[in-house]
Structure 1
Amino acid sequence: MIRPEQKKQKKATEMRDNLKKGDKIITAGGIYGTIKKVVNEKVIIQTAPNTEITILKTSVGTLQEELDKKLDN
């Protein structure tokens, strides 16, 4: 793996390790949600009122605030 790719992967791993309740995320599949609970390698997110789904941490694509920052620039 080349250096820029390693840095990007390390940043993504750190982000996933620091996920917590209340974080707004976007999954790799493009689903927006708010974290309700983090259990080991699973994340339970609320996608709509009374609608929760369970995903793997590795399926978290980005934090919504990071995407908003990129789009503002």
Structure 2
Amino acid sequence: MSLVTLLPFIVLIGAMFLMTRSAKKKQQAAAQMRSDMQPGTGVRTIGGMYATVKEVHDDMVLLEVAPGVHAVYAKNAIGAVLDDDEYNRIVHGDDALKADDPIVPDDASSLTGTADAADSPADAKIDLGKKPEADGAEPKDGKADGDTGAK
């Protein structure tokens, strides 16, 4: 066999090696994150629930999902360990603006060019390029209202 015929197989094996290596690194990082959990830390489960860690055991954690409400979860069910600022922002709604945070308008005024939604009349008609038909006149397709043409 020549090197040219073996080259696709070598490339395929190399790609598989790199993918499995990357997946193994991600698994190790997740295991390290879960083992570094401490009581009082905010976490997000793989189901999307935010909670505070109360106790950490070998294969499970006790989470406080609401004041006075505790639940037992497997360590593998912890999707992310959050830092205090992020947890408070998400759970408690602490949205204190920082000096470098951009201010985004809560309406589409920046897209339309109008300063305020009150500047444009709410009942303004939009021209769709259609001409209104005279009362009693037949539509252009030759069918009366409700006539589907099927018999």
TM-score by length of 1: 0.82
Please state if 1:43 is matched with 2:61: yes
Cα distance between partner residues in 2 of 1:21 and 1:43: 9
User: Contact between 2:53 and 2:63, CA under 8 Å: does it hold in 1?
Assistant: yes
Cα offset for 1:15?
0.7
Cα distance between partner residues in 2 of 1:29 and 1:16: 16
Cα offset for 1:45?
0.6
Calculate percent identity across the aligned residue pairs. 32
Cα offset for 1:64?
2.2
Stretches of 4+ moved more than 6 A in 1? none
3-state SS, counterpart of residue 2 of structure 1: helix
Structure 2 counterpart of 1:16, from 34, 49, 70 = 34
Q: Identify unmatched segments of 5+ residues in structure 2.
A: 1-18, 87-151
Cα offset for 1:24?
0.5
Aligned pair count? 66
Counterpart residue type for residue 73 of structure 2: I
Q: Which has the higher contact order (CA 8 A, sep 6+)?
A: 1
TM-score by length of 2: 0.41
Cα offset for 1:4?
1.4
Task: Give the number of the structure whose residues are more often strand, by fraction.
Answer: 1
Cα offset for 1:3?
1.6
Cα distance between partner residues in 2 of 1:19 and 1:2: 26
CA RMSD of aligned residues (A): 1.3
Cα distance between partner residues in 2 of 1:53 and 1:42: 10
